Structure 1
Amino acid sequence: MRILYDGQIYSICRNRGINRYFQNIIQNLPSEFTPAITTNDGSNSYPVHSNLKLYYCSGKETLPKDIYSWYEKVYFRTVALLGQFNIVHPTYYMSVARCALSSYHSRLRYPVVLTVHDLFPEIFPEQLDPSGQQRFFKQEAILAAQAIICVSENTKRDLIKYYSIPEQRIKVTHLASSIDATLSYGAESVPSNPYYIYVGGREFHKNFDRCLQAFAKAVSIQPDLFLCVAGAPFKLNEQKLIAELGLEQQILHYEYPSDNHLAKLYRCSIGLIYPSLYEGFGIPPLEAMSCGTAVITSNNSSLPEVVGNAGIMFDPASTADLTEILLWLLDCPIERECLIKKGYERAKLFSWEETAAKTIEVYASVAE
């Protein structure tokens, strides 16, 4: 089977969950498959597969913008036509040629499989998509797809709610963790003080401000407690809030740590704080369980589906509830160890091999 992965996601972001999703799908494809990625970014790290073909459109930095835009569309359409693919699986809702998937692939007549990871713009339109552009391109992509993959049952329910998609067009394939406790015994440094860890983005819906507020109250009672934050550098508004809460000495930042370092940070922590207002799946809680730490997370969206009874759930609107949990878990090592054991067992239910196998089933259901 020849599969074309329209590589727009590689032009948008790196070190994010969607990139890792396609990396694991592609590297777990059977050896007789031929995956191909179209991209205009030659500096990225791409998935590994014995038959992978990378089609790179050069000239982005040297050609005039209008000329490159025309050349790019011609190049990618030519690759798609000459490649005689069985299926197209876009990595984003817009094509790498920066146009709607419905118009880009209509001439190619290949079946389209689309993965919907979440409905952030639909649920938080004013904060995350005030212009409506993301929703426009997503709707166009959904209309162009013969089959849709959702990464959780919750995302499937939301997709049906917001777009009235027939249920028979949707298949759920859960995600998995790419790291586990076996990576966590290297020489990487971790704090000597007891600490919690926060991992991932810090956009509006991630509820990071409440996390800081709850942590500040916990520190007022347990002043030796630290918070490790893994991810992008702090923005000015975050730095301001940290200063206002008097947490400059209690917060340690790790900018995109390696997998080994992240696994060790997880394992040596008291627990992960994941207070999101909404998630399409939620990989950090699964990573935390795989690496041997307790999980404190919201009781909404897909998170109960991921964590099950192996974590502590709370109302993400309640700062007081989170503070109480942080102090309780710190003082209850026996209960914490029980959560860790449950987490290990829960994490075993998710694997990238299973995700890839279910994805291949979707490919086969629509392939020419």
Structure 2
Amino acid sequence: MKIAIDCLSAKSLYHGMGVYLNNLLRYLIPLAQNHSFLLFGRLRTFQCSDDFLNTKNVDFREIRLNRSFRILWENTLLPVDLIKEKVDLFWGPSNFLPPLKVCKYIVTIHDISSFIFAHTYPWLRRNYYQVSIRNALHRADGIISVSSATKNDLIKYFPISEDKIRVIPNGVGEMFQSIISPKEILRVREKYHLPSEFLLSLGVLEPKKNTERIILAYARLKEEIANLPKLVIAGSRAYGWKNSSLFQLIKRLKLEEQVLFPDKIEQKDLPAVYHSALLFLYPSLYEGFGLPVVEAMACGTPVITSNVSSLPEVAGDAAILVNPYSVSEIAQAMKEVLLNDRKREEMREKGIKNAQRFSWQKSAQELLNFFEEVMGK
């Protein structure tokens, strides 16, 4: 079987789709020695992944296009290439499938926040995501969702047969499960100018990440706890939107010295950052999976997250679940973790155990099984 994969949505090794694709392909390609792969992407996205790019069953085609021309290529020339290369199955790993059906199609839908939280998106981005997802669901022979919650959302919002959907969760990389030396932690803290103790929040700075309520909860807690450790918000401003009010809020609350925004944290440095944090805050309004939750848990960091969407499914019994719309609940959970050493240790042990449920190798095997199942229909 010849399998083509559109890797152009992966902007870098260290962000979103880059993490997803690199980890899955790293295990998928060695597992599928009887199949051949045609990958369309940017070489710089996979510059640290020569181990699978140089295998005999992989043909990598570099596509050097900006976002606008990439979308044009995907909708016009990509189907032509699939025909020319006699591709049997095409996988769109990020909500997109070509408009012309030329072979078997599988798509991964990570979430449908552009529908459920449409108001939080810039109109152009929202419309693009909505059109892409609708069209992909219509053309797909098989659909991958990264959680049961996302599967339920798809069934609720679209006329899709449940049998067409396969839940294949994300994994957690081995780097998050490794022992981090004090020397490495010190190096990373110095690199990003992090204090010795801090509370951590991580994610793109956009409305559904709920960063404003995190800041409000922190401000409330600061009135109750003397010498409260600083809050580090490791969010990517480059990929964010509708976030100017965050900085206005911090200024109004006079928290400029207490709330820190480090430079974008590289993927290789994330384990040391998680290890250094007293707790990890992720009270998102909606997630298709919530990978940072299991990454933090794998590092032994206590997690506070939301009781909505996929997050209870991913966190299991290892996190404190809060109503993400309640500033008081978020603040109370923070207080409980910070002032209770026994609670922190219990959450650390449960978190490490819970993170072991998620494996990129297992997910790659399930992905290959689904490819073969769809081709057999």
Q: TM-score surpassing 0.5?
A: yes
1:38, distance to aligned residue in structure 2 (A): 1.8
1:74, distance to aligned residue in structure 2 (A): 6.5
Cα 1:72–1:321 change in 2 (3 A) is closer
Cα 1:54–1:332 change in 2 (3 A) is same
Larger displacement relative to structure 2 (173-182 or 343-352): 173-182
Deviations 1:157-183 (A, max 9, x none): 000000121011011011112231426
Aligned to 1:15: 14
Aligned to 2:257: 249
Q: Which amino acid aligns with 2:234?
A: A
Deviations 1:179-211 (A, max 9, x none): 314263214243444311001112111111001
Aligned to 2:375: 367
Deviations 1:272-294 (A, max 9, x none): 00010111000011000001110
Aligned to 1:177: 172
Cα 1:116–1:93 change in 2 (3 A) is closer
Q: Secondary structure at the match of 2:273?
A: helix
Choose the corresponding residue for 1:128, options 121, 128, 153: 121
Choose the corresponding residue for 1:264, options 263, 272, 281: 272
Gaps of 5+ in 1: 96-100
Aligned pairs (5 A) from 1:162-311: 162-178=157-173, 179-182=175-178, 184-185=180-181, 186=184, 187-190=186-189, 191-222=194-225, 223-233=227-237, 236-311=244-319
Q: Which amino acid aligns with 1:313?
A: L
Q: Which amino acid aligns with 1:278?
A: Y
Give the Cα separation in 2 of the matches to 1:122 and 1:73.
22
Q: Secondary structure at the match of 1:165?
A: coil
1:133, distance to aligned residue in structure 2 (A): 3.4
Give the Cα separation in 2 of the matches to 1:287 and 1:4.
29
Q: Give TM-score, length-normalised by structure 2.
A: 0.85
1:34, distance to aligned residue in structure 2 (A): 2.5
Q: Which amino acid aligns with 2:21?
A: F
Aligned to 1:3: 3
Q: Does 1:352 align with 2:356?
A: no
Q: Which amino acid aligns with 1:23?
A: N
Gaps of 5+ in 2: none
Q: Which amino acid aligns with 1:2?
A: K
Larger displacement relative to structure 2 (74-83 or 209-218): 74-83
Deviations 1:5-37 (A, max 9, x none): 1234136x7733222112122111243132222
Deviations 1:111-145 (A, max 9, x none): 01111111101101222264633212211111111
Q: Secondary structure at the match of 2:223?
A: helix
Q: Answer yes or no: is the 8 Å Cα contact 2:93–2:109 preserved in 1.
A: no
Q: Answer yes or no: is the 8 Å Cα contact 2:14–2:267 preserved in 1.
A: no
Larger displacement relative to structure 2 (70-79 or 162-171): 70-79
Q: Secondary structure at the match of 1:202?
A: coil
Q: Which amino acid aligns with 2:22?
A: Q
Q: Answer yes or no: is the 8 Å Cα contact 1:184–1:261 preserved in 2.
A: no
Question: Percent identical across equivalent pairs?
Answer: 26
Deviations 1:215-236 (A, max 9, x none): 1111223334111122313854
Choose the corresponding residue for 1:114, options 98, 107, 112: 107
Give the Cα separation in 2 of the matches to 1:229 and 1:7.
29
Cα 1:247–1:153 change in 2 (3 A) is same
Give the Cα separation in 1 of the matches to 2:250 and 2:178.
33
1:260, distance to aligned residue in structure 2 (A): 4.0
Aligned to 1:81: 83
Q: Which amino acid aligns with 2:312?
A: P
Cα 1:137–1:329 change in 2 (3 A) is same
Report the count of equivalent residues: 352
Give the Cα separation in 2 of the matches to 1:340 and 1:237.
33
Q: Secondary structure at the match of 1:221?
A: coil
Give the Cα separation in 2 of the matches to 1:254 and 1:35.
38
Q: Answer yes or no: is the 8 Å Cα contact 2:209–2:285 preserved in 1.
A: yes
Aligned pairs (5 A) from 1:36-115: 36-39=38-41, 41=42, 43-45=44-46, 47-48=49-50, 49=52, 50=55, 51-58=57-64, 60=65, 75-94=77-96, 101=98, 103-104=99-100, 106=101, 108=102, 110-115=103-108
